[in-house]
Structure 1
Amino acid sequence: MADHDGLSKDWSIMKNPAVLISAGGLMACVVGVASVNYAGLQRMVDDTIAKDARNKGIEVFAHYKYFVNPNVLVYDLRKVSEENSPMDVTRVLLQFSEQLKERKFDTVELSHRGANKFVLKGEFFQTVGQEHGLQNPIYTIRTLPENVYKPDGSKAYGEWSGGLLGVLGHQMEDFADLHRTWYIDDLAGKSAKEVGHVQ
């Protein structure tokens, strides 16, 4: 009998217009937020990846911070196949920045599977987008690390000076470390665990 009464109370709550309106409003908000993020960002990054066959194997989840803060872009790398190189991953980022070259963000978070690893200043991200296709891509790639920050706001890498070959070597070392920290170490750890599990 008690269970029946409880069920009746639950049903009466569901018939309450205020409850239904609130639930409907919440659902509309969720759908609205998802639509804004998809139309404004995710569809663009999906199109960016699809337009270049070299990008196959890479998946990115792009959205606003907490899905509601349009001042912060979260660029969340979700998948990188064994066939993809750091150059491929960087190319997708640069191509996407070109798609957003008219947009202004305070910061762009470089994440991997939901974990924020690095931060770019929005102004730099926009400049890279505006210069993509015009600027020497090798220059953009080798100077990328010195424009990357840690989540705490400190610079992740320094700027190098000296002879051209020495500077270039250090910059490419930083570029490799950037990708290791961003996602490669995570993927290597996952692979090691999978191998251990199989054994």
Structure 2
Amino acid sequence: MRCPECNALNETDASACGTCGLLLLNVLPKRRAEDLAVQRRRASDHDSAECQFCGGAISPKAVRCRHCSEVVDEEFYRQRAQRLRSRVNYASWVLYLFGLGALLLFRPVGVLSIAAGLLLSIAYYAIPVEPPASPRNKKRTRLGALIRRQLKLERVSIPLPALRNKKLVFVGTPLIAALIGYSANLFLLQEPVNDILKQSDAFRGMKVSAHYEYYVVPGVVEYNLQTLTFRQTPIDVHKAFLEFAKKLKEKRYKRVDLSYKGNRKFSIDGASFAQLGREYAKENFKFALYDFPRLFQPTVSTSSNRDALLEFHRRWYGDDPLTKTVENGLR
């Protein structure tokens, strides 16, 4: 190759003139340039991928499609979903445990905190684990496999501020804990009450709710009288509670509360409640009917046992202007 400046002869592949130092450009033949362009296009075709959602050309290492903004990296999608689900589950447990503690001090805050924890627990199961199937290659997923993936249980460690290197470890979500607690209240307390109310027509229309205190304190039982009709007399209400005590006479509780429409009226210690059930099972009606009001606080002071029993029922539910049951029993 000759230098256009000094006309000196240089090597064919020389990049500069050896005499004057002028930079030399190797101009390839037109045919050779076209071949190189084709090779570059083929190489670029091998280095690109197709978006499974919109069909656009993307990089093989792309996380999102630059055309439709969908996540195309399945492994990245799974890792992101796992991180998000772990954070939501951790937050739900913190709110749930805080709510259980707050119930003992200020009930509205505890209820709101527990509700927020359960909502986050539901959101945890709603976050998809697997990336969505593309419209072009839509695979049918069996419902059972989908449920197993979504209901996957994971361990959650919550540190204790007062104790170093100590953590509470939970498996699953607060929703599972709430379902277990509800099942315990239903089968251990509410079902015996339902069986009692079905025994006699005298209990028809009466509604009673029996559950642990705040549904989570197993040592305290709340017997909540919710609805009465005009057909029930104090003896009917009294008998229903005695049957309840009879069914649970072998259980050990710290306290039993008698409530009316959610308002606690009387409390009896667990030992006296068990004694009441045993005496009623022995058909000791004197103890069950007349000594019964004196087991509660405040003590009813009246002239006769019958009046003490009726006064007890007045204080339990007879002060409600919508309830005339006690008056019916006195006629």
Query: Which of 119, 139, 142 pairs up with 2:290?
Result: 142
Residue 86 of structure 2: aligned partner: 18
Task: State how far apart, in whole Å, the 2-side matches of 1:185 and 1:31 are.
Answer: 36
Structure 1 counterpart SS, 2:267? strand
Q: Structure 2 counterpart of 1:184, which letter?
A: G
Deviation at 1:135, TM superposition (A): 2.8
Query: Is 2:237 the partner of 1:89?
Result: yes
Residue 308 of structure 2: aligned partner: 174
Task: State how far apart, in whole Å, the 2-side matches of 1:92 and 1:39 are.
Answer: 18
Deviation at 1:82, TM superposition (A): 0.7
Deviation at 1:29, TM superposition (A): 1.7
Task: State how far apart, in whole Å, the 1-side matches of 2:220 and 2:229 are.
Answer: 27
| Matched pairs, number | 165
Task: State how far apart, in whole Å, the 1-side matches of 2:323 and 2:219 are.
Answer: 35
The answer to whether the 8 Å contact 1:13/1:19 transfers is no
> Sequence identity, in percent?
27
Residue 100 of structure 1: aligned partner: 248
- CA separation of 1:143 and 1:91: change in aligned 2, threshold 3 A: same
Q: Which moved more, 1:33-42 or 1:169-178?
A: 169-178
Deviation at 1:136, TM superposition (A): 3.2
Query: Is 2:279 the partner of 1:131?
Result: yes
Which blocks of at least 5 consecutive residues in structure 2 are unaligned?
1-79, 93-120, 125-172, 325-331
Q: Structure 2 counterpart of 1:171, which letter?
A: N
Deviation at 1:139, TM superposition (A): 3.9
Deviation at 1:53, TM superposition (A): 2.6
Deviation at 1:57, TM superposition (A): 2.1
Which structure's CA Rg is the greater one? Answer: 2
Q: Structure 2 counterpart of 1:52, which letter?
A: S
Q: Structure 2 counterpart of 1:157, which letter?
A: V
Task: State how far apart, in whole Å, the 1-side matches of 2:247 and 2:307 are.
Answer: 28
Structure number with the higher helix fraction is: 1
The answer to whether the 8 Å contact 2:300/2:311 transfers is no
User: Greater relative contact order: 1 or 2 (C-alpha under 8 angstroms, separation 6 or more)?
Assistant: 1
Q: How does 1:1-199 map to 2 (within 5 A)?
A: 16-21=84-89, 22=92, 23=121, 25-149=173-297, 155-158=298-301, 170-186=304-320, 188=321, 190=322
Which blocks of at least 5 consecutive residues in structure 1 are unaligned?
1-11, 150-154, 161-168, 193-199
Task: State how far apart, in whole Å, the 2-side matches of 1:125 and 1:55 are.
Answer: 22
**TM-score, normalised with respect to structure 1:** 0.75
Deviation at 1:185, TM superposition (A): 1.1
Task: State how far apart, in whole Å, the 1-side matches of 2:220 and 2:323 are.
Answer: 32
Q: Which moved more, 1:129-138 or 1:32-41?
A: 129-138
- CA separation of 1:191 and 1:67: change in aligned 2, threshold 3 A: closer
